[in-house]
Structure 1
Amino acid sequence: MLKRGHPQRPFAVAAAILILLLLAWLPVAWWLSTVAVRTEARNSVDDIRARRMEMLRLQTASFAEHWRSLRNAPEIVANTPVVLRALAMPAQTHVNEANQYLGMLAERAAGDAIWVTDPQGRVVLASDASAPGSLFGRTLKDHDFFLKTLDDRGGLTFGYGMYTDQPGFYFSAPIRVGDFIVGVATVKARLDALDARFGDPFLLISDHLGVIVVSKARELLWHTLPGAGIDKVSPSARAVRYGSTPLRPAELSPANSPLLPAGLYRKGKDDRSYLFLSQSDASLDRLTMHMLVPLPELNRLPAQQRLYFGLIGGSGALLLALAVVLSTYLRHVKRLGRQIASANRELQRQADSDFLTGCANRRKFERVLGVELARSHRYGNPLTVAIIDIDFFKRINDSYGHPVGDAGLVHLVETISATIRDVDLLGRTGGEEFALMLPQTAVAGAEQLLERLRAMFEQGHFTADGKEVRFTVSIGYTMASGSDDVESLLKRADEALYAAKQGGRNRICLAAAPAVTQASA
């Protein structure tokens, strides 16, 4: 209790409490702002990832179709009559016709050049025979793709041009006449030409060793992706495949920040975060297409976090201040609220309960019965209602007095309440008359329970004012039908009770539910 001589003490205590609460709140506010910003960033990245992944799938499918046309072109050349005729009869007319055909095929297959070499490696047919710098007439006998094809290991080779030093993919197939190889058909697709097919500046293509061989971002070309298998390749094999080009690891590292979702990268000294996606296709000969998408919008996350921290922290601090200032008033209101709630619960209990026995009164019973009856109609669940009446109750009052009669009513309620389930409901509907609702209970189950109750009262007794008093009960019951309402259901149970009384009392009697007739169409 505060002393009267120190009126400022409550304010000092409130200020101290507020400071402690603020010291505890600020780290929480910072954490909440971090979570909020990270959640927004994750949702934004997920949206970008979904859209970019769909674009990457479409680009991969398009490139795979182009790749298949390049793959098939050498076989087409190897089986074309005009090419076979030019090899068999290399007259100038035949050669010109074959070169013209190869030019058209190269344009259709989108290859950079198509060559046909004889078994000695000399280019005897070329799609660009009349162009400056054409390899027509030159020899490729030492090129890897030519040697592999003669050794029946052709198909696809990556390498550098012997004369142009331009890297590219060589698609080749042997030209056979019978069991003899009379030439090699080759289609070259330069890397820069493949790169030119893509309008998206964020696309990359890596080979099966993780080396980036196609990229509009020149700083990533000939770099290796994280986890690449190039380190397992011998220097000599690497030189054959990639020439003298130095292969360096791409400067891609995971972007570690509490504000960023997982799966993002940083590129070198670039402070932007990047989304790295990959898509493969079985027809691309172990090439993988990637998309490295910068996300500059994530750079504003720290400023956004500070803004959220100011909003969350300031709002929380204001609420804490109000809570401390009004704490005494709120405690009083809370105490008063508990008292009012307790009084309301007691009033509700009194309004719904019989004042003598404590069971439900008629109003509550009929209200709950209405709800259960509607549920029974909706789901088709059985519902039984019974009316229980003490036989010759007036004699007990006349013989022993009303206090003993009241004790008998209490005894009846206590006995039934101890026997029924929690879902059942007992209510007092008259002086010595009680109603019992049995949800999920059909006639057979109700009959067993009610007969057991009747026998318990017949064989039992209660003691009041030192007197042992016995009584029996009569019970009428019925099961709800689809056409029943509360009034008709209770009326039928009451009629069954009347029949039990007329039949000699101390018995149970069933009133059958009326048959439900369907209206004719």
Structure 2
Amino acid sequence: MNRTNLRAAAGPVSLLLIAFVCWFAAGLAADRMVQQELNAAVRTQRQMSASVVDNMAQVIASDLAMFRAVPATMAELDTIQHALAQSRNYAANGAGAESPQRDTLLKQPALAAISRFLKDAQGYSGLDIIWLVNANGLCVASSNANAPRSLVGIDMRSHAWLTNALLGAFEEIYGVSPRHREPGIFIAVPVYNDGALVGAVVARVGIARLRHWVAHPGTFVTDGNGVIIMAHDNALENHALPGSRATQMSAAERSELYRRDHFADLSIRPVSQLRDDAPWVPNALAGQFFQTPVHQSPALYEVRDGLNSKLASHIVDPVAAWPELLYTHRRDRLLVFVTLAGGAALLCVLTLSYLRERRHHSATRHLAEQLQSANTLLSAEARHDALTGALSRRYFLDLLRHEIERARHAGEPLCMAIADLDHFKQINDRFGHAAGDRALEHFVGTCRIELRDGDAIGRLGGEEFGILLPATALAAGFETVERLRIRFRNAPSATLPAPVKLSVSIGITELGPDDPAERLMSRADHALYAAKSGGRDRSEAVRAGDTAPPARAAVTAW
């Protein structure tokens, strides 16, 4: 082959070699540029996901602490302790079986009084049901004792939420009600009398009351066995995490606790095809991406265990910028290749790079603004109740302490009231939880009409609300809550069915010279209890110096 032919052959080879080198270099450059965008996008989105799951964990911990307080307080009451001690001779006759002593238990005056007390406590606590179980595992009293399917007279020893309580340990566990097939969180507190274990107080709060835990897309909650008990996407509920304790339980154990013997598997695993689809993703970052059967694209996964309970909050948040990043990488490689392959296109490439960088900074700034907006929204959600718009319990209590300090410094009076909607559970049972939600919204709307701009209302839990009246003496405060009570009863809501009759019971007290916030709330709660005991749909007041609710005649004198 002569020199001319060699030159002719070397030309195409050189062009191919140069094109290959340019393409390889363009790939390296595109990898570096898109990695920067990916890092910025993931960092911003991870902050948002962490904020969501942290806020979710705080809400769960706060709600559970409120629900735990009810059975824990009941376990310390002398009436409860004595009732269980006196019922120790009633024995169970087989796990889950109904005792022939049921009619006897229902006719016992002392136990009937306890059942009525449990019913009243359930009404303002936000719990679905409360049971009293003696040391033999027999249910002797219930907040729904007279219901046809109540558990009075039923042997409850086989229930997982009761086993540890009858051994003297506090128990809090998710499960499904054996008779009503309703999922909920069961809280069991052992009861002692003169140092001896005499039984337990068991309460259940239904999952339907806790749906606000998973308000954000991609969130779900698992119990201590790794079972998804609630999720923003209902299709994920009753799935189990791979390798969790639920997958190792026997079918009998799963049936006893969950009323089902099989759980679909929800696999949250590293993205298997990521290195094939996007080899430019750094190994350290690729290990942080996950996928599920629902989310096949790369997603961020955050979990918060503990929460002062056996529950865990999770979020699977797909990387929003992923499709655009794939497109950006292909485009950038081609652009860099064109730049390296032809010097004539240098000016064009520089212009496009400038535009790309400008768009990159704009996107980063936009993501930062989104993060700031999300943080502002989360802060507002922490301050206000999502359903009613009233102040959240935590923010209301902080405001109460601040107003107490301000009132003492200024030498002004201060009134605190607690309001509880009457027969709220019956509204939920007869007309549905949506009607109950409308009733709560109607009450808060009525408060906003009747109260001053400087007054405050907060949702303490369930259908219970706190009302703060700064610079208000007790007599004026009592007149204010009376007007509120009458307006709420006489002004029906257009969003509720006509048969719904609404009323509210209110207890009010004034700030004493040395009152901390807890004592002020306790007196207001005593006054509320007096209003409930006096027949509901009424207001009662307790003066700062009183240690117990006043007589009805003293109240009506204001």
Normalising by structure 2, we get a TM-score of: 0.48
Alignment match, 1:250: 266
1:219 match: secondary structure: helix
Structure 1 Cα separation of the partners of residues 217 and 154 of structure 2:
36
The higher radius of gyration belongs to: 1
Q: Answer whether contact 1:117 1:184 (CA < 8 A) is retained.
A: yes
Matched, 1:306 2:312: no
Distance 1:75 1:270, change over 3 A: closer
Q: Distance in 1 between matches of 2:345 and 2:10?
A: 13
Q: How many angstroms does 1:246 deviate by?
A: 0.9
Query: 2: CA distance between counterparts of 1:117 and 1:250?
Result: 37
Deviations 1:462-505 (A, max 9, x none): xxxxxxxxxxxxxxxxxxxxxxxxxxxxxxxxxxxxxxxxxxxx
- 1:142 and 1:232, CA in 2 relative to 1: closer, same or farther beyond 3 A? closer
Give the counterpart letter for 2:333 in structure 1: F
Deviation at 1:78, TM superposition (A): 1.4
Change (3 A) 1:266 1:128: same
Cα distance in structure 2, aligned partners of 1:135 and 1:112: 14
Conservation of the 8 A alpha-carbon contact between 1:21 and 1:320: no
Per the TM alignment, residue 166 of structure 1 is displaced from its structure 2 partner at its CA by 2.6
Letter in 2 for 1:278: V
In the alignment of these two chains, the number of paired residues is 316
Match of 1:370? Answer: none
1:194 aligns with 2:210: yes
Q: In the TM superposition, what whole-angstrom CA distance separates every residue of 1:305-356 from its partner, at most 9, and x where no partner exists?
A: 222122222222223888xxxxxxxxxxxxxxxxxxxxxxxxxxxxxxxxxx
Residue 276 of structure 1: how far off its partner (Å) = 0.9
Q: Secondary structure at the match of 2:235?
A: coil
Correspondence 1:284 to 2:309: yes
1:250 positional shift: 0.9
Tell whether 2:272 aligns with 1:275. Answer: no
Tell me the equivalent position of 1:156: 172
Deviations 1:103-123 (A, max 9, x none): 564466543222223455554
* Structure 2 residue matching 1:276: 3-state secondary structure: strand
Correspondence for 2:66: 69
Contact 1:202 1:216 in 2 (8 A): yes
> Cα distance 1:100–1:297, how it changes in 2: closer, same or farther (>3 A)?
farther
- Relative to structure 1, the CA distance from residue 75 to residue 216 in structure 2 (aligned partners, 3 Å threshold; closer, same or farther) is same
Aligned to 2:34: 37
CA distance in structure 1 between the partners assigned to 2:161 and 2:267 by the alignment: 32
Correspondence 1:20 to 2:17: yes
Equivalent residues in 2 for 1:446-457 (5 A)? none
Q: Find 2:317's aligned residue among 293, 301, 306.
A: 293
Measure the CA separation in 2 of the matches of 1:235 and 1:142: 15
1:52 pairs, out of 42, 49, 62, with: 49
1:207–1:288 Cα contact (<8 Å) kept: yes
Identity of paired residues, percent? Answer: 20
How far off is 1:59 after superposition?
1.7
Residue 126 of structure 1 corresponds to 142
One-letter amino acid of the structure 2 residue matched with residue 291 of structure 1: I
Q: Deviations over 1:251-300 (max 9, x none)?
A: 33322424354211222264432211011236123x32111113343123
Query: Is the CA contact 1:145–1:154 (under 8 Å) kept in the aligned structure 2?
Result: no
Post-superposition offset of 1:19: 4.2
1:307/1:101 CA distance change after superposition, 3 Å = farther
Q: Which residue does the alignment assign to 1:265?
A: 290
Residue of structure 1 equivalent to 2:376: none
Match of 1:316 among 336, 340, 349: 340
Residues in 2 aligned to 1:168 and 1:10: alpha-carbon distance in whole angstroms: 83
Q: Give 2:202's aligned amino acid.
A: T
Deviation at 1:156, TM superposition (A): 2.7
* Alignment partner, residue 168 of structure 1: 184
Which residue number in structure 2 is paired with residue 395 of structure 1? none
- 1:387-422 CA-partner distances (Å, limit 9, x unpaired): xxxxxxxxxxxxxxxxxxxxxxxxxxxxxxxxxxxx
Equivalent in the alignment of 1:206: 222
- Is this contact kept in 2: 1:173–1:185, CA < 8 A? yes
Give the C-alpha shift of residue 138 in structure 1.
5.4
Note if contact 1:145-1:172 (Cα within 8 Å) is conserved in structure 2. Answer: yes
The 10-residue stretch of structure 1 (10-19 or 66-75) with the greater mean CA deviation from structure 2: 10-19
- Matched residue SS, 1:163: coil
RMSD, aligned CA:
3.9
Query: CA offset at residue 247 of structure 1?
Result: 2.1
Cα 1:174–1:44 change in 2 (3 A) is same
Amino acid at match of 1:268: P
In structure 1, distance between residues paired with 2:307 and 2:151: 32
The alpha carbon displacement at 1:186 in A equals 0.5
Residue 284 of structure 1 aligns to a residue in which SS? coil
TM-superposed CA distance for 1:11, in Å, is 11
Q: Does 1:112 align with 2:128?
A: yes
TM normalised by structure 1 equals 0.51
Per the alignment, residue 361 of structure 1 pairs with none
Are 1:185 and 2:182 counterparts?
Answer: no
Matched residue, 1:341: none
Distance 1:152 1:272, change over 3 A: same
Matched residues in 2 for 1:84 and 1:229: separation? 36
1:216 aligns with 2:232: yes
1:409-444 superposed Cα distances (whole Å, 9 cap, x missing partner): xxxxxxxxxxxxxxxxxxxxxxxxxxxxxxxxxxxx
* Structure 2 letter corresponding to 1:290: H
Letter in 2 for 1:276: Y
Q: Relative to 1, partners in 2 of residues 1:321 and 1:199: Cα closer, same or farther, differing over 3 Å? A: closer
Instruction: Write the deviation string for residues 127-153 of structure 1: whole angstroms up to 9, x where unpaired.
Output: 455778654665535433334433334
Residues 183 and 13 (structure 1), Cα distance of their counterparts in 2 relative to 1, 3 Å cut: closer
Q: Is the 8 A contact 1:82 1:97 kept in 2?
A: no
Task: Map 1:390-409 onto structure 2 (within 5 A).
Answer: none
The change in CA–CA distance for 1:43 and 1:132 in structure 2 (over 3 A counts) is farther
Instruction: Select between 102-111 and 184-193 the one with higher mean Cα deviation.
Output: 102-111
The answer for unaligned runs of 5 or more in structure 1 is 323-521
For 2:66, the aligned partner's letter is S
Q: Which moved more, 1:48-57 or 1:173-182?
A: 173-182
